Structure formats: C-alpha cells, structure tokens
Structure 1
Amino acid sequence: MFGMLKPCSHGAEKYGIDPAQWRAHMCGLCLGLRDRQGQLARAATNTDAIVLSVLTEAQLAAPMRRTTAGPCALRGMQRAEVAAADSPGVLLASTASLLLGSAKIRDHVEDRDGSVLTRRPMARVSNRWANGARSQAARIGLDIEPLVAAISSQSELERNASTGSLDALTVPTQICAAEFFAHTAVLAGQRDNIEPMREAGKHFGRIAHLADAVEDFEDDLANGRFNPLAATGTDLPEAYDILRQSDSDLRRAVAAAELADIPTVRWILLDPLTALMRRLGTGVGAPIAHVCNTSHDHSAHSHHPGGPRRLPPRPRPGLAESIGLLVGGYCTGYACCADHRRPCSGEPKPAWWKGGCGNCCRDCCADCGCGKKRKKKKGSGNGGGPECGCDGCCDCCDCSC
C-alpha cells in the first residue's frame, strides 16, 4: 500500500469522529479491489485514493451505504462495518488505485528494478490493472483515456526534463488528480463543486509529485535514478516554496467547495497535508509538526535550532514489497503520530503508535534545544504517559491527546 495521506487517530478524537471511519473506507476499497480484480489487486490499495471516497461521501446528502465485512487477519479476525464495494466513492477510489498502481509497476519495469525474471509478470499485472481501471471508470461515467494518455506522456517529459520546467514534469499527476477530485462532485450530484474540486485535485497532484521528489532526492542521486528536482536544477527550498503555494491553493479550493469545515475532510485530507508539509520542511530548515496539532502557523522558513535536517531516505518499493507492506502495514488501521516518527527529530519510532499519543512529546524540549523543561500535568494521555507542554517551544509539545 502506498500514499502520502496518513490520518492520525488522535485527530479523530479531536474532531469527535469515530476512527473506524478511516478503516471503513479503506476496507471497502480493499474488498472492492479483491472482488473485481482478484486478491493480488489488493496490493494496489492507495491511501491517497481513500480520500476520493471520503470526499464523495462528504458531498452526498446521506452517508454511503455500509456492509458487514467478514473476519480479516489484518483486523485481528474481526468483522467490521465498511463502505459498500459498489458505492460510487469506492468505485472511484478503486479506479484511481488500479490506474496509479499500474503506472507505478510499469515505472519499475521501465527502470529495470528488481530481477529480470520478475519484469514480464510485473508488466502483465500492470496491464491487467490498467484494463480493470478502464472497466470500473466506465461504470461511474469517468472518461479515463485522457488520464492514461497523461500518464503515458510522463516518460517523454522526463527524457526532455533538462529543457523543460519543473511544473511541466508534474502536469500528468496534476491532470489525473484533478479529474479524480472533480468526479467526486459529479458522483455526489454537486455540479457547483466540480471546478473547485478540480482545482483542489490539481494542487494535490502537484504536492504528491513534488513531495515524492523531495523525500527521494538524495536516494535518487545516490542510485542514479531520475529526480525532477535534480533534472530541472531546482533546489529544495525552491521546491518547498512551490509545495507551500500548492497547499495554500488547495485549501482555498476546498473552502470554495464548502468542505473545509467538514470534520472528516479536515481529519483525512487537510491535517495530514499540514503534517506532511512540516515534516518535509525539516529538510530545508522549517519546523516539524505533530499531526495531532495543526493549529500553529509558524513561518515555513523559520529555522530549527539545530539547522536544516536531512530527510531520511525512503526506498522505492517494487511489487513484492508493496504486497508485503499491504500484509504488514497500514491495513491494520491508520497511521499515527506523523508517520510514526519522533515529532521533533524525525527519528523513526515504530512502537510509538501502540502507546497512543501519551509518549509523543517525551524529550521533545531536549530535541528542540529550547532549554526548557517539559511540564508534567495531572492526568495522562491515551498511551498512559503524562500530558505535556513546554510553553509552546515546539508544536509537538502541546498535542491535545
């Protein structure tokens, strides 16, 4: 499973939302892929595509139909109420997952990643998923051929990257995300929202493309892979400025569609984008934020006492890795605590999500270098740790768990 949106369970509590809503949409997408494309297609589950189901439901007059899913090992063999696999939002999300999954596998094949023996089977899977996306798009009235053509143009754009612009390289992603977002309004019967949602999708696509480029920058250079920033001579601070502008424009578009104040949209789309932006900002000297707390508005160019930090390298998963991640990863529920990283330093802390947010602020002030002592208050957070705060020295120290 892949994607950049990872909502936090503590944000759900803040908005008074049942965290199981995330699982309801995710499991509905996963089961919809299985029912129409087979078990292997579940590996195409894209956490970003889930937002399409959420946005569709947010614009409907009534919630989407739920069905009872049977026991699943990824839910601890528990049954669950999930979004119906044949509901419009889930069909749209599964179409996006199949199309993007197909493109991702084809990229690995063209880049000659993995063993020679795996390339032909991977190509067959890519073609099967692309055909599945066409079939499902037809069911919901989405013309997918312009999106397929846009994705196919990406290789040519990359070959001519040295003579083009960074924005031109992100156009295929922008086109795909824009049409998928716009179609949420079509499926919900909200004609006035089509253009605002198309604009929001355009900027979401740009953010997704550039965020991936920023995170993979050093790893791509070290391994001789294509990176749009290196190819166009764009430095990290400049890329981050573009990301900030797109994030701002996306929020204006969502507000124009009158969705910005809907709790599920804030929890599953807007807050994770805030956390993503601030986590990426650590690589160019901007502060990091905890996903639970997005109320602070620090300047994106304010500097951390320790100076700019290097983003940890993120490996690019192949087909087998994607399947393994599906089995052992996010399908257990939702990601938490800013992508399972220590809020101030970005250090991976895989076990923290098990304890909730009670320990998220531990040693925060020491990491921030503010010289203040962490205050302990009465009571405890979800994980049993003390509530904490250090007079606002850093965002992650006053998370409202």
Structure 2
Amino acid sequence: MFGIVRPCTHRLTQGLKAEWMAHLCGLCLALRADHGQFARVVTNYDGLIVSVLTDAQAGTADAARRTAGPCPLRGMRTASVAKGEGARLAASVSLVLASAKIRDHVADGNGLLRRRPVAAAARKVAAGWDRAGARTGATLGFDTAVLVDAVDRQVGIEELAGPGTPLTVITEPTETATAAAFAHTAVLAGRPGNAAPLAEAGRLFGRLAHLLDAVEDRTADAAEGAWNPLTATGATLAEARRLCDDAVHGIRLALRDVEFADSALVHVLLVHELRRSVDRAFGTATCAHQGPGAPGYGQPPQYGQPPQYGQQPPQYGRPPAGGPYVQGQQLNGPQAPYAGGPVPPGGGSGGHGGGWSGGEPQQPKKRRGLIAGCAVATGLFCTCQVCCADHYEGPWSRKKREGWCSDCCDNCDCGGADSSCCDCCDCCCCDCG
C-alpha cells in the first residue's frame, strides 16, 4: 500500500472513516473485477481520491454502494463499498500510475531491478497494466494516453536534469497526469464547470506527490546510488518544503471553486491530511498519542512550551519519575521521602493522598517462538490490527505496540470563518472549502 494521503483513524469521525474505507475497498474490488486478482496489488491511498472526488460531486454516495462479502483484510467482515464509474476510473488511473512507478524504479536501477531478468519482467508487467488501464479508461471516456505520455517524458526529463534545474520542470509530467485524472471526475459526475479548478488541484497534487516521494527516498537513493530529484538538481530541503507548502495552499484555494454535493471527506483528505503528509515527510509532525518508540517519547517539553497532550503533569502525592522501582526491581531499604510522604512498604500509597498503586512489578511475558510469532504476525496483518488498532501485542516480543495509524490528531487549522467549531477528530464542520 502506497500513497501520501494516509489519514489516521483517530482524525476521522465514524462516518468519514466508513466512507474512506468504502472507497478503498471499492478501488480494490474494481481492480479485481476488471483486471484480475493480481491487479489488486496496485491499490493505493492516492488513487481512491479519484473515486472520492467523483462521489463528492455527484452526491449519490448512498446509491453508489454495494455490500461486499467477507475479506481477510477486514477481519472477515462484510462492508459497504463504493461501486460505479468513480471506482473504475480510480482503478484505471492506479494501474497506469503503478506502471509509471515500476518504470521509474527500473530506470533508476533500484534494488533487484538492477538485474536485467528482473527488470525485463517488471517492464512486461508495467506494459500489461498500461493496456489494462487504457481499456477501462476507454469505457469511461478517459484517454489514458496522457498518463502514458507523461510516464514516457519523465525519463527524458530526468536524463537532462542537472544542478540548477527547477524542481517544477521535473515534476511537470506527474502534474499533467494527475490534473487530467482529477478533471475527468467532473465529467463523470456531470459537473463540467468543475473541470478547470479540479485540474489545478490535480496539478498541484501531482507536484506534491512527486516531491514528497523524493524527500522520503532521499537517504535510501543516496545509499543505493539511485537518481533523486533533490540530489540531481542540488535543491535544498527548504526549497522543496516551500514548494510543498505552496502546493497545499493552492489545492485548498482551488477546491473553493469546485461545486460539491458533499465535500466533507474531500476536505479532510485534500486539505488537512495533505498538510500532515508534508509535516510527516519533513519530520515536523507532532503526535498527541505518542508512546514508547515514537520520536521524542520520554523527552521533557522545551522550556517555555506547555506539556504535550498525553503527557501527565506532575501531581502531588505521587512518587518521583521511576517510582520506587528501577528497571523493574524494587529498591532495597527505606525510600527517600518525596512530596506527599514516604513510600509505604510494598510501594503502595498506604491509602493516603495520591492513591499511587505500586505492588510487585509485572513480569514480562515470555517471547514467542519463530513459528508461533509468524502465525500471530500473519493474523495481525490480515486483520489490519498492525495498521488500524490503537495498540496490539508484538508477535514475537509480546510487548505493547501502537498501530501504524495511531499517530493522532493535532489542532485543526481550518482558517475559515467558523474554525472555532473544529476539533482534532471532526474538523470538517468548518466552512473553509
């Protein structure tokens, strides 16, 4: 699963989460229905935005749904999923863009694709996806030739790029491809007047996707000696960040000119989540559900900064940091006094203020063996707990871990006339789009 728009479940209301999953599953099933089981591997978070845009303009979300059968990725549960032209257009675009990604990796010689037999097989798969995407696109009145042409031009542009080449020159093919896909959603939804602003939003989205991919892959590309736009042009991260911030702002402005029947999910994905995607790629994201293993966990707040959400402020009647235990062992002998009185025997509060419950430290759970851990890991992935659960038990270590999407909400920055109504988990009440 790839894509720059990866909304955290903590930031979506139950209704928006169901809508998002309906489009994600609808894209996956549209790929299977039109192109076979293997095509489902190109399901991605960004492709479903095409389906979201189509439904948001048409205003027929309820009619464009069907009940899908049990799926291992949904924990063997049924679900209401998107169907129709929006999902099929998303499938067509996803196939062609996945083909572009494969060709780009082949041209850069990334990983196993440096080997000629593997590269040849990858090119064959990419060509098949191009043809499949073109067939589906033709039935919807969408000519995928603009996407394929963009893919072909990308290689030539990268070969000519050098120090001083503007980053926007390199991102132009991606911009052109995504602009065409976004604009065609207006045709499918019967709102041709939306084509121009959606094309602008799509162009900036393509620029953003290309730049964020370059930023995230910069270190890996340098280690492998692979081509990277930032390294090839000598562009700084500050310059890339400026272009990304401008693109996010431009998308927001473009969406204001689009006539939607229901813009809630579009607003969350293309306004709020894009901003968080930029923060995540440049390492400036903050998370209110931080826990062990998260960047900065356990570090005190900077001087003059309020404690972060989720950090408990000091409380009277409680032991100092670490309590009466050091690395899980109770200290021998009498404890040093602290605010609230000495620690009673056994580490408890003795029933006095603070109510700190000490007791014996819990023994760590015994690690699972290789086979048992693999079985548990398979179950975690197949039921999406690794991604969507707030917490899950590590398959081998059995330690408590946070789900990949458990990074949480920060303050909503709607900037609209009524942005005060927003909170971190339901920020679409503002009228900023």
- Normalized against structure 1, the TM-score is what? 0.71
The one-letter amino acid of 2:99's match is S
Q: Secondary structure at the match of 2:206?
A: helix
- Which residue of the partner structure matches residue 161 of structure 1? 161
Cα distance in 1 between the residues matched to 2:71 and 2:89: 23
Q: Which residue of 1 aligns with 2:179?
A: 178
Quick one: distance in 1 between partners of 2:28 and 2:277?
24
Structure 2 counterparts to residues 251-400 of structure 1, below 5 A: 251-259=252-260, 262-282=263-283, 287-290=284-287, 332=384, 351-353=401-403
Check the 8 A contact 1:174/1:205 in 2, yes or no.
yes
Residues 1-400 of structure 1 correspond to what in structure 2 (within 5 A)? Answer: 1-13=1-13, 17-63=15-61, 64-84=63-83, 87-112=84-109, 113-114=111-112, 115-162=115-162, 164-259=165-260, 262-282=263-283, 287-290=284-287, 332=384, 351-353=401-403
Aligned AA (2:108) = D
**Retained in 2: the 8 A contact 1:174–1:203?**
yes
Q: Summarize the Cα distance change of 1:291–1:37 in structure 2 as closer, same or farther, 3 Å threshold.
A: farther
Q: Which moved more, 1:72-81 or 1:169-178?
A: 72-81
**Cα distance, 1:337–1:230 mapped onto 2, change above 3 Å:** farther
Q: 1:18 to 1:333 in 2, by over 3 A?
A: farther
Structure 1 residue 120, shift from structure 2 partner = 2.8
Q: Percent identity?
A: 40
Q: Structure with the greater relative contact order (CA < 8 A, sep ≥ 6): 1 or 2?
A: 1
- 1:399/1:143 Cα in 2 relative to 1: closer, same or farther (>3 Å)? closer
Specify whether residues 136 and 333 from structure 1 end up closer, same or farther in structure 2 by C-alpha distance, changes over 3 A only.
farther
Tell me the secondary structure at the aligned position of residue 99 of structure 2: helix
Stretch deviating more after TM superposition (111-120 or 60-69): 111-120
What's the counterpart of residue 378 of structure 1?
none
Unpaired stretches in structure 1, ≥5 consecutive residues: 293-303, 307-326, 341-348, 365-397
2:205, 2:382 → 1: CA distance?
21
Deviation at 1:29, TM superposition (A): 0.8
Query: What secondary structure, in the 3-state scheme, does the structure 2 residue paired with 1:17 have?
Result: helix
1:18–1:257 Cα change, 3 Å: closer
Aligned amino acid, residue 100 of structure 1: L
Distance in 1 between the 2:263 and 2:20 partners?
15
2:201–2:251 contact (8 Å) kept in structure 1: yes
1:232 and 1:54 map into 2 onto residues whose CA distance is 35
1:157-186 CA distances to partner (integer Å, 9 max, x unpaired)?
Answer: 111111632111000100011111111111
Contact kept in structure 2, 1:8 and 1:337, CA below 8 Å = no
Describe the shift of the 1:258–1:144 C-alpha distance in structure 2 as closer, same or farther (beyond 3 A): same
Count of residues in correspondence between the two structures: 317
1:330/1:244 Cα in 2 relative to 1: closer, same or farther (>3 Å)?
farther
CA distance in 2, matches of 1:250, 1:166: 18
Question: Which structure has the larger Rg?
Answer: 2
Counterpart AA for 1:103: A
Show CA shifts across 1:344-368 (max 9, x none).
xxxxx993238967xx69xx9xxxx
1:24 & 1:77 partners in 2: Cα distance?
15
> Would you say the 8 A contact 2:386–2:404 is kept in 1?
no
Distance 1:59 1:190 in 2: 7
CA distance in 2, matches of 1:62, 1:260: 9
Work out whether residues 70 and 80 of structure 1, in 8 Å CA contact, stay in contact via their aligned partners in 2. Answer: yes
Instruction: Give the corresponding residue for 1:388.
Output: none
Alpha-carbon displacement from aligned partner over 1:211-258 (angstroms, at most 9, x marks no partner): 111111122122211111111111001110111111101110011114
Task: Quote how far apart the aligned CAs of 1:305 are.
Answer: 5.7
Q: 1:62 to 1:123 in 2, by over 3 A?
A: same
Query: Is 2:215–2:281's contact at 8 Å kept on the other side of the alignment?
Result: yes
Alignment-mate amino acid for residue 194 of structure 1: A
What secondary structure does 2:280 align onto? helix
State the one-letter code of the partner of 2:85. P
2:251 and 2:271 in contact (8 A); partners too: no
Q: Contact conserved, 2:23 with 2:81, CA < 8 A, in 1?
A: yes
Q: Deviations over 1:100-126 (max 9, x none)?
A: 111112223333431544333322211
Q: Please, which runs of 5 or more residues in structure 2 have no aligned partner?
A: 290-300, 304-378, 393-398, 411-422, 427-433
Whether the 8 Å CA contact 1:8–1:335 is kept in 2: the answer is no
Q: Is the 8 A contact 2:215 2:282 kept in 1?
A: no
Instruction: Specify which structure has the higher proportion of helix.
Output: 1
CA contact (8 A) 1:56 1:184 kept: yes
Q: Residue by residue, what CA displacement relative to the aligned partner does 1:323-381 show, whole Å, maximum 9, x if unpaired?
A: xxxx986994996699x9xxxxxxxx993238967xx69xx9xxxxxxxxxxxxxxxxx
Deviations 1:164-209 (A, max 9, x none): 3211100010001111111111111111111000000000000000
> Equivalents in 2 of 1:281, 1:261: separation in Å?
31
Does the residue aligned with 2:162 lie in a helix, a strand or coil?
A: helix
1:214/1:259 Cα in 2 relative to 1: closer, same or farther (>3 Å)? Answer: farther
The more displaced of 245-254 and 64-73 is 64-73
Check 1:151–1:356 CA distance in 2 against 1; reply closer, same or farther (3 A cut): closer
Residue deviations 1:18-37 (CA, integer Å, cap 9, x gap): 42222211111111111111
**What's the secondary structure of 1:275's corresponding residue?**
helix
